[in-house]
Amino acid sequence: MRDTELRRQAIDVLRGNWERGHTVPSRRLYPHQWSWDSAFIAIGWARTSPGRGRHELESLLAAQWADGRLPQIVFNPAVARDAYFPGPDFWRSRDVPGAPRRETSGIVQPPVHAVAALEVHRASPTLGRLFLRRVYPGLKAQNDYLLRDRADGSTDARGGLVTIVHPWESGQDNSPAWDAELARVPADVQVLSAHRRRDLDHVDATERPTAADYARYVAIVDNYREHGYRDEAGAHLFVAVDPLFNALLAWSEEALAEIADIIGKPSEPHRERAAAIRDALMARCYDRAAGHFFALDRDGERVPEHCVGGLAPLVLDLPADVVDALVAGMTGPRFALNDRVPLPSYDLTGPAFDTTRYWRGPAWINTSWVVLRGLERHGRQAEAATLRAAMLNAVRQEGFREYFDPRTGAGRGVADFSWSAALTLDLLA
């Protein structure tokens, strides 16, 4: 299939998933607006209809909480309340002071939105400047919330890493990086019987998180909701530090610095915050012997599972030897960089590897896209060309699937998945 045809198909998917002001990740499985999906989707819209990219980000920001948190899900009131689990009746944001009028979930997702806003601006700079003025305060407030209310307790005076308080906040829901911390969450699979998992109406159970995972996901939210979604010290049932989340936070601080320069605001504080997060990632998550960035558990101990998110700090300035080590890990047996299938979400040789189950092995377009940007930043053109070829090959062969079997490349999860289409548009630009 030629690039022009692939591009046309990608635009068709985005148009089909466009829903007055935002784009659903998938018509069937995910009928609302998701936070980091909207960022990746806006990057795709920037390549074809920047106006829609602006709407995408602004509609998400319209559902920001008073404390600055940008919710993981913004519920569409026109969709049946039980079309997706966990839906608005589970989160009950209406009961919470400071939540927006639109119903949302109470947790966040990786903060890649400032990067997306800058991409949208660059695609149509004249209108873009006004847009940047409108979105800058909300994008800054999002990062302020994370650095203030989610600051990892063991940071130094310059500030540093931020925590996630639910595996869903990482966007890599059932990653093996969370297994040990999740196992500490008391949960009764019976509680799930009160809810109906709608995901299993659309996707095979072997491709989704298990019932035991879901019971714990529900227990963590029940507890957070009971605390009014306040980030009180010691109150969370789950706490972890995710290298992908923090790398994207630092990257968006760099983007905020550029945005601030364009609209005449002070940019230096953003550069300082980006550097502090990068330094903390290096000091705390980078394992020199392994040549990889690991997640941290609630005690600040490294979780020695090789996940694709541990390659994400490549989007930042890193010492040359660290870049070399990450690239060596990527081309070695764990991630087996090749030109057919994008990077696996988890170590192909790891004890928890699973070819089909969601974030425990399958290859996702968005995480490969982040790593691709990192390779480009460090001038690793050969590896970047290989990864780009793999991403395009996957969607060409299988369509814009949600994820892919990392060994065979077979499509998994839902079809016509928005960020797979959106980021393909970026690759073809």
Which are the catalytic amino acids?
A: 173, 402
The residue range among 7-15, 33-41, 159-167, 270-278 that interacts with ligand 9YW, by the rule CB under 6 A, is 33-41
Site size with ligand 9YW, rule: CB under 6 A: 8
Among 25, 138, 329, 362, binds ligand 9YW (CB under 6 A): 25
The residue range among 28-36, 217-225, 283-291, 372-380 that interacts with ligand 9YW, by the rule CB under 6 A, is 28-36
Per-residue exposure over 401-417, b if at least 16 CB sit within 10 Å of its own CB, e if not: bbbbbbbebbbbbbbbb
Q: Which is nearer to ligand 9YW, 257 or 414 (CB)?
A: 414
Does 167 participate in binding ligand 9YW (rule CB under 6 A)? no
The region, left, alpha or beta by phi > 0 then psi within -120 to 50, assigned to residue 199 is alpha
Q: To the nearest whole angstrom, how small is the minimum distance from the Cβ of residue 34 to ligand 9YW?
A: 4
* Residue located via tokens 């793999």: 390
- Residues 168-187 contacting ligand 9YW, CB under 6 A: 171, 173
Nearest to 246 by CA among 208, 213, 274, 212: 274
Measured CA to CA, the distance from residue 147 to residue 34 in angstroms comes to 21
Q: Which is nearer to ligand 9YW, 53 or 413 (CB)?
A: 413
Q: To the nearest whole angstrom, how small is the minimum distance from the Cβ of residue 226 to ligand 9YW?
A: 22
Measured CA to CA, the distance from residue 224 to residue 230 in angstroms comes to 7
Among 7, 10, 31, 37, binds ligand 9YW (CB under 6 A): 37
Nearest to 335 by CA among 314, 315, 349: 349
Token output for 265: 């605001």
Q: To the nearest whole angstrom, how small is the minimum distance from the Cβ of residue 364 to ligand 9YW?
A: 8
Which residues, other chains included, contact 281 with Cβ-Cβ below 8 Å and sequence gap of 6+?
Answer: 161, 243, 246, 247, 250, 293, 313, 316
Q: Which is nearer to ligand 9YW, 201 or 301 (CB)?
A: 201
Contact 410, 398 (CB under 8 A): yes
* Residue located via tokens 């998994």: 412
Does 36 participate in binding ligand 9YW (rule CB under 6 A)? yes
Q: To the nearest whole angstrom, how small is the minimum distance from the Cβ of residue 242 to ligand 9YW?
A: 12
Mask: binding to ligand 9YW, 251-280, rule CB under 6 A, as x and -? ------------------------------
Length of the chain: 429
Q: Which residues here bind ligand 9YW, judged by CB under 6 A? A: 25, 30, 34, 36-37, 171, 173, 199
